[in-house]
Every structure is written in structure tokens, then in C-alpha cells.
Amino acid sequence: MKHTLAVLVENRPGVLARIAGLFSRRGYNIESLAVGQTENPDIARMTIVVDGDDRVIEQVSKQLHKLIDVIKLSDITEEEYVDRELLLVKVNADPSVRGEIMQIVDIFRARIVDIGRNTLIIEATGDEGKINAIEASLRPFGIKELVRTGKIAMVRGPKQ
Amino acid sequence: MAVRQVTEAIELSEVKDLGNLSKPEVLTGAQILIKALEAEGVDTVFGYPGGAVLAIYDCLYESNIRHILTRHEQGAVHAADGYARATGKPGVCIATSGPGATNLVTGIANAYMDSVPLIAITGQVSLDMVGKDSFQEADITGITLPITKYGYLVKDVKDLARIVREAFYIATTGRPGPVIIDIPKDICTQKAEFMYPPEIDLPGYQLKPYRNGKQINRAAQAIMRAKKPVIYAGGGVIASGAHRELLELAEKLNIPVTITLMGKGSIPEDHPLCLGMLGMHGTCYANYAVSECDLLLAVGVRFDDRVTGRVDTFAPNATIIHIDIDPAEIGKNVPVDIPIVGDVKLALRDLLKLVEPRERRDWLDTIEEWRRRYPLHYEDDNNGRLKPQYVIEQIYEITRGDAYITTEVGQHQMWAAQYYRCRKPRSFISSGGLGTMGFGLPAAIGVQIAHPEATVFDIAGDGSVQMTSQELATIAQYNLPIKVAILNNQYLGMVRQWQELFFNKRYSQSEVLGPDFVKLAEAYGIEAVRVTKREEVRPALERALATKKPFLLDFWVEREENVFPMVPPGGSLNKMLGR
């Protein structure tokens, strides 16, 4: 089962290497890892999606928690949370199919952020399902380039 | 932020002799480093100079800190490790950048696996040269990332004092481990005001006050209900200084105690409740007891595969209680019924308050019967051929178990673990987790430096000792009265044993002819003797112990002797070869 971990870490060089290294050397698989600074510039937050059974997740959490740079770790899988991923996709778009693509973009409330002679770059945000759906819808036109950020997540309500 | 409250068993590194803090002195980075080491109470460092650490060495020259010059950086880090294991204080070593630093890697990994508090100080090329593949540059903090508790690359001389303070704190508290401080050359000569921080601010490293009421109660109840309990004690008992509590608990409840290699010294091995070591080369009676027990109280251990064998048949009928300071150890290898996270000493003290004395005649009788039927034994036909086990027994008898023993890794190590019955904590110093050949000789240096008056034996194999034999020069230079006892079978003995048992006696590359060790020792100015016969063992040992100088004993032992009993790798503890 996929688990979503919210990890607050010291915002210092080398921290990402420590976290990623822990996963690789202990044989855990990272599905995605998104990292950025928080409201406190000394602290970064990582959203890590990791696949495994309860024992694996327990070990991942404990081992992560052992790292000196990890300040707080929560498994928010069972919580009510909002999650988003950002997608940028460059899709083949001859003038003949542009209208159709623009309709798809509308349906997904995505945006066109660049127009080339025969291509469009589309930006979309949403949960994993939506991002997968728009990707699938655009695939028939021919995707030239695609990049996804991986999931970021935040628990709903006042709870931190 | 204030220093966090820590459990009473954890000693905070003391800050003293800091002078007048209201008027900070302006010092160079190298001076700051030395001053900080002094503030941490460091009296000895082990190391090897080189270009990037010259400024540090220059300052060291004027310090009261004693520097032991080894012949290889690996020797320095193992010596620091041995010093730490023998004293409980952090060991400190210094190496230069690049190859100096990478030569520490084995020793750092060794300390990490056995949870030894160690500070490795490495030189680095100047900051403006970092990342350019400069001469003698290696990304040592990167290289050691998976084998250190933490690592620092000092980028500003103003951070240096704080970093040293944090490094010692991290290395020595919680589950101890090695910390590396990588100091660029230019940082050593830049100046800053010296202010040793009295407080530590590490938001991600919080030692929680020990609180375990509920689990301790559950554990106490389970122990009181158990009919056939066993205590399985490891290095954590020694690290937390809990040997008295362990003995008291065992005696109060009449629970037999089996120990790991790292747990040797956690209970006197001549005690009737001690079953000796368990696991791959453990005693039959220890392994049978663990296989049969209905409760296993695992104390400061990590369920290593050399202990458990096949995990699903390990203590199959037992309720398992696991006390460990590292929460990540709970349930890592073996599911645990009652986890107790915290310092072993405090947990055992709490447990002692909750349990009532118990007699366990039946269970102890059963174990005594196993002990009688399947004792540790070896064939000794007394025809003059020398058995390695006999040599260890004689070392045990002549020292009455009061010596400090270091070992290398292999057959001799297991024989030492089996036949040298250790009586006090911190006196059996061996590479457990990493299994580092070449550990024992330099570790003995650290032990002898820490305990100048003690008898220190390095029990070695001829294969292992050749990995760091250059340290004989260090021993000679400082006239350390270490006794090096080589069990010489001209094989990589354990490799040969496995080849005999599992590879149809195809001894591929395991016959390792050594030098004439007596001549080698003499080349270093060390007295030495070769022993080939049983009756020569005792006089040779007596001669070695009579001198206050280093002494090497080259015991030519039976070449194809095996370590038994043995649980084949991945096998179950109740099925042992050669019982």
C-alpha cells in the first residue's frame, strides 16, 4: 500500500542526500519525493510517497526519524489531507487539433502556458488521479516532453 | 534552546576550563578545534598527519592532548574505537584529506555497526578547491553518509566550536555512534572568537525522557508468568553500564542469561546462570534454551542474523520483550510482543522494582542437563599437537579472566568468545557487526593506552593480523606491553571451515602463508616466541606476562581445526553441527 509521509527537516545542504540514501541503502522504494522550503526558512518539508506493507512503513518511519536532520515525521495516509501534483506537458498540436486540445485543457481546468508552431505546453495541478487522467487524454496527440513534481500534501483543518 | 533533559544514565559531555567567556579569545580554526577537544575532556587522539591537517598538528604540538601516531589511518581509527570500547569515553582520531580520510572508512563503519562513540576528524582541501577534484580531495562526508551517525563539513570557522560540541553530544548520547568532522585546510588558519556553546540546539535530535510505565508493567507481568524465561543480553547492556542491574535481575528471578559477542562482559561468564554465547557459534545449551523458552527478555540487542539464524524458528514459543534505546531496532528483524524503548539501565531498574523473586528449579535443571550432555568441548588427544581452544583456555586461566582481550575476526575470534570467559564489562573488545579483520591489533593499542597497567591480549589469526601488522611499529614505538597471541594455522581459518563444510573442501584461496612472525616481531624490536607444542604454551604465556614490554606469541595450531558447535547460516538454532 502507498503511504504518504510528511517530513520536516533542517533546511541544509546534504539533507536530501541523507534521506534519499537511507531509502536506497535499506532497499525501500520511493514512489515520489517533493521537497521545498517552508514558512520557516530553516526548515524544509518533504512529502514522500513510499510503497510497502505496514512493517516496511514502520521501519521507514523509524529509520527516517533517527536521522539527526529530521525534525518531525508524520504518516498522513489515514488523515484527511489535500494533495497536489504539478504537471508540465509539451504536446504535439498542429493547428488542426489545437481546438480539441484546448477543450481538454478546459475540462481539466488546466492552462496553456506556451504555444510553439506545432506544440503546446500545458500546466495542470491536481491530485494523482486528475494528473493521470489529463496525461492519458493528451497522450493520443503525441507527448513530446513531460515532467511531474511528485505529490505534495497538507492535512486539512487546524491540525498541523 | 536549552539542552534537553536527558536520562540520568546518559552522561552529558562536560564543558570545563573554558576561561573567561565574557572576553572571547580570537583563535585560529586549528586552535579552536584543540581547545574544543580539551573542553570535551579528550586526553588522547590517534592519528596520522598530512598536508590538510598540518595546522591542526602544529597546534597539537603545544597541547596537553596526547597524540598516538599509528602507521596507517585504519590503525588510528581502530585504536580510537578500542579506546572508546574500553573506557566508554568517545575515541578521537585524526586523518588528513583524501586517502587519509578514506583509510578511515573501514574503522568508521566498524564503529557504526557496533554503536561505538567515535569522533573522526578529517582534513579537507581548502574551500575554494572543494569540488574540483583537487589533489588529495575526497568527499568524505558523502562517502561516510551511510556509516556515520552524523557528519559535518565545516564551511565557516565561526561554526567550528559549535560543531565539535554537537559532534560529541551526538556521538555519545542515545545510541552511540561515529560522527565525522571534515575541516577544510583554510578553515584551520582562519580566525574567529572562541566561544564554546554551553547549550545545544538540535531540533531533530531530541532525547526523550525515559517513560515506559505501561510497557514495563506488561513486561513484569509476563516475566512473572513465564515458566521458562531466558535473558538475551547484548552490547547495549555494556554501553549503558547496566551489568549490575542485569545480574541482579537474573539472580532475583533465577533467569538464565545468554550473551551475544558484543554482550561479553555484561555478566560474569563463570556465573552459574550464564549460558555463554548464543547463535551461530553459541553453546548448545544457550541455543536450546532460546529455542525452548516461553519468554525471551532481549536487552540491548539487535537480533543480528548471526544470533537468530532462521528468523521464523527463533525462539518460536516465546513472548519477546525487547529493551533498546533505538526505536528503529524494535521489530526490525523479529516481531516483538512487548517493546520497551529506552536506556537499558533505567528499564532494568524499573523492572527490578516490579518483580518478585522466583525459583525455577525445573527450568534450570533442564538447562543444566543440556549443559552436562552438550558442553563446549574439543578433541584433545594430548599427543603434543596444539589445539587452538587449549591456547585460549590457557590465556583465560593464566589471566583469571581479568585481562582485556581484543580479537581479530575469524575462527580465533569465535574460540576466544567460547573459551575465554569474560568477567567484567568493556574487557572483551571485538568487531561484531562488521567483522573487520585487522581490528584487534590496533584496537589493543587503544585499550592499552586507556589502561596502561592492564594486561592486554590481542587474540589474533595469522590471516587477520597481517591486515594491520604494521601497527607492531606503533606498539614498539610507545612500548605498549600488549601481548599478541597469534593462532597460526596458515589458513584463513573460517573461510577454510566454510569451504570444508559447504564447498566440498575446495580451499580456493584460503591458504594464506604468513611471514615468520617471530622474525617480523623482532624486526620491529618486539620480543617473540614460537610455540608448537602443548607443553610449551604455559611457559610461553608466563614469559610474555613477566615482561612489561610488548610480546608476540606465534602459536602453531592444528591446521584444520573447526569451530563447533555451529548453526549453518540460515539454519535453526536447535540444529547445530558438531554439538
Looking at A31, A51, A75, which one is the last position of a domain? A75
pLDDT value, residue B21: 55
Q: At what angle do helices B29-39 and B160-172 cross, to 10 degrees?
A: 30
**Residues A98 and A134 both lie in one domain:** yes
Catalytic residue among B149, B185, B345, B483: B185
**Residues A141 and A118 both lie in one domain:** yes
CA distance B564 to chain A (A): 33
Cα angle: B187, vertex B189, B190; to 5 degrees: 65
- Segments forming the whole domain that contains residue A64: 2-75
pLDDT value, residue B25: 87
Does the beta carbon of A62 lie under 8 angstroms from any beta carbon of chain B?
yes
The separation between CA B185 and the C-alpha centre of its own chain, rounded to angstroms, equals 32
Q: Is A17 inside a domain boundary? A: yes
* Residue B466 annotated among the catalytic residues of the structure: no
The confidence band for A160, taking pLDDT boundaries of 50, 70 and 90, is low
User: pLDDT for A135-153, tens place per residue?
Assistant: 999 999 999 999 999 999 9
Nearest residue, CB atoms, A68 vs list B141, B170, B326:
B170
Can you tell me the mean pLDDT for A103-117? 96
Q: How many CB pairs under 8 A join A and B?
A: 40
**Residues A94 and A148 both lie in one domain:** yes
Report CB contact under 8 Å: B149, A21: no
Catalytic residue among B73, B137, B329, B561: B73
**Residues A58 and A9 both lie in one domain:** yes
pLDDT value, residue B207: 87
* Residue B262 annotated among the catalytic residues of the structure: no
* Residue B206 annotated among the catalytic residues of the structure: no
Residue A119 phi, psi dihedral angles, 5° rounding: -135, 160
User: Which value, to the nearest 10 degrees, does the dihedral of the CA atoms of residues B40, B43, B44, B45 take?
Assistant: 30
**Residues A6 and A69 both lie in one domain:** yes
Tell me which chain B residues have a C-beta less than 8 angstroms from the C-beta of A58: 331
Looking at A20, A51, A75, which one is the last position of a domain? A75
Report CB contact under 8 Å: B204, A9: yes
Domain count for chain A, please give it: 2
**Residues A69 and A23 both lie in one domain:** yes
The confidence band for B210, taking pLDDT boundaries of 50, 70 and 90, is confident
Write down the ipTM of this complex.
0.89
pTM as predicted? 0.94
Average pLDDT over all residues of chain A: 94
Q: What does the DSSP assignment read for B56-67? A: HHHHHTTSSSEE
The confidence band for B10, taking pLDDT boundaries of 50, 70 and 90, is very low
**Residues A70 and A86 both lie in one domain:** no
Average pLDDT over all residues of chain B: 95
Q: What does the DSSP assignment read for A111-159? A: EEEEE-SSEEEEEEEE-HHHHHHHHHHHGGG-EEEEEE---EEEESSS-
pLDDT value, residue B19: 54
B interface test, pick of A22, A60, A66 with most B CB neighbours within 10 Å: A66
CATH at A144? 3.30.70.1150
What does each C-alpha distance from A65 to B147, B302, B458, B545, B556 come to in angstroms? 16, 18, 38, 49, 50
**Residues A89 and A57 both lie in one domain:** no
Q: Are B333 and B312 in contact (CB under 8 A)?
A: no
Q: Which residues contact B389 (CB under 8 A, 6 or more apart)?
A: B378, B380, B415, B418, B419, B561
Does residue B5 surpass a pLDDT of 60?
Answer: no
Determine the residue of chain A that is closest to B325 in CA distance: A66
Task: Decide: residue B224, CB within 10 A, 0-12 exposed, 13-18 middle, 19+ buried.
Answer: middle
Q: Are B30 and B53 in contact (CB under 8 A)?
A: no
CATH at A45? 3.30.70.260
The secondary structure of residue B511, as a DSSP letter, is B
Q: Is A34 inside a domain boundary? A: yes
Which neighbouring-strand residues pair with B151?
Answer: B180
Q: Is A103 inside a domain boundary? A: yes
Task: Decide: residue B362, CB within 10 A, 0-12 exposed, 13-18 middle, 19+ buried.
Answer: exposed
Nearest residue, CB atoms, A66 vs list B142, B202, B328:
B328
Q: Is A115 inside a domain boundary? A: yes
**Residues A71 and A86 both lie in one domain:** no
Looking at A75, A109, A139, which one is the last position of a domain? A75
Can you tell me the mean pLDDT for B282-306? 97
Put residue B578 in one of left, alpha, beta given phi > 0 → left and psi -120 to 50 → alpha: left
Catalytic residue among B74, B136, B389, B497: B136
Segment (H or E) for B449: helix B440-450
Q: Are strands B178-184 and B118-124 parallel, antiparallel or unpaired?
A: parallel
**Residues A71 and A104 both lie in one domain:** no
Report CB contact under 8 Å: B146, A25: yes
Can you tell me the mean pLDDT for B411-426? 97
Strand, helix or coil at B538?
helix
Does the beta carbon of A12 lie under 8 angstroms from any beta carbon of chain B?
no
Catalytic residue among B135, B193, B397, B542: B135
Does residue B171 surpass a pLDDT of 70?
Answer: yes
The confidence band for B2, taking pLDDT boundaries of 50, 70 and 90, is very low
**Residues A31 and A47 both lie in one domain:** yes
**Residues A67 and A11 both lie in one domain:** yes
Q: Is A160 inside a domain boundary? A: no
What does each C-alpha distance from B117 to A56, B47, B404 come to in angstroms? 28, 17, 19
Report CB contact under 8 Å: A62, B327: yes
Does the beta carbon of A79 lie under 8 angstroms from any beta carbon of chain B?
no
User: pLDDT for B353-394, tens place per residue?
Assistant: 999 999 999 999 999 999 999 999 999 877 778 999 999 999
Does residue B535 surpass a pLDDT of 80?
Answer: yes
The separation between CA B142 and the C-alpha centre of its own chain, rounded to angstroms, equals 24
Does the beta carbon of A136 lie under 8 angstroms from any beta carbon of chain B?
no
Tell me which chain B residues have a C-beta less than 8 angstroms from the C-beta of A59: 328, 331-332
Residue B320 phi, psi dihedral angles, 5° rounding: -105, 125
* Residue B428 annotated among the catalytic residues of the structure: no
Report CB contact under 8 Å: B328, A68: no
Q: Is A8 inside a domain boundary? A: yes
Q: Is A104 inside a domain boundary? A: yes
Does residue B6 surpass a pLDDT of 80?
Answer: no
pLDDT value, residue B579: 78
Give the three cell numbers for residue B456.
592486554
User: pLDDT for B81-125, tens place per residue?
Assistant: 999 999 999 999 999 999 999 999 999 999 999 999 999 999 999
> What does the radius of gyration of chain B's CA atoms come to, in whole angstroms?
24
Can you tell me the mean pLDDT for A19-34? 91
Across A84-98, B18-32, B159-173, B505-519, least confident range: B18-32
Does the beta carbon of A23 lie under 8 angstroms from any beta carbon of chain B?
no
Can you tell me the mean pLDDT for A21-33? 91
User: pLDDT for B233-256, tens place per residue?
Assistant: 999 999 999 999 999 999 999 999
Q: Are B500 and B560 in contact (CB under 8 A)?
A: yes
Give the three cell numbers for residue A127.
491530485
Q: Is A13 inside a domain boundary? A: yes
Determine the residue of chain B that is closest to A26 in CA distance: B146
